[in-house]
Amino acid sequence: MDHLRTFSKAVLEHTLNLSEYGLHSVPLETKYLTEIRDLNLDGNYIKDFPQVVCQQCPNLTRLSLRGNRFREIPPYFGKLVSLTALNLDDNLLLRRLPRTLIELPALLELTLGNCSLISPPQDIASRSLRYLQ
């Protein structure tokens, strides 16, 4: 029931905080929050991010996936054209970033502390964004 209340609040506030919910996947109901601007999924067990959320949430500006289990970020993150901040801290298994992150025109901040990146794609490293590691 708390889960349902959180989604109802997200519709009104355009913010969804599901941090520390013990989630193993992003709830597919998230795709219906087409006006969402801020999505916090910190401290869960998420390995994959659904493509449909990237397609259906074009107004998403802040996405925090800190402390999850991502190995790779999918190329379809390039669909999040309004994204200004992406936090991937503490994804200990994260080794690769897609080149499509460079295509995010609004991205200003990319946080990658405590990840196992081989190296960020050269285009991302050379872009004028706040890159925190």
In the chain, where the domains are located = 2-132
The answer to whether the beta carbons of residues 64 and 37 sit under 8 Å apart is no
Q: Give the tens place of pLDDT for each residue, 49-78.
A: 999 999 999 999 999 999 999 999 999 999
Q: Give the tens place of pLDDT for each residue, 81-122.
A: 999 999 999 999 999 888 888 789 999 999 989 999 876 666
What tokens were used for 86? 């992406």
Shortest CA distance to 35 belongs to which of 55, 60, 4?
60
**CATH number of the 2-132 domain:** 3.80.10.10
- 38 Cβ contact list (under 8 Å, min separation 6): 14, 15, 16, 60, 61, 62
The answer to whether the beta carbons of residues 93 and 69 sit under 8 Å apart is yes
Largest pairwise CA distance in the chain: 46
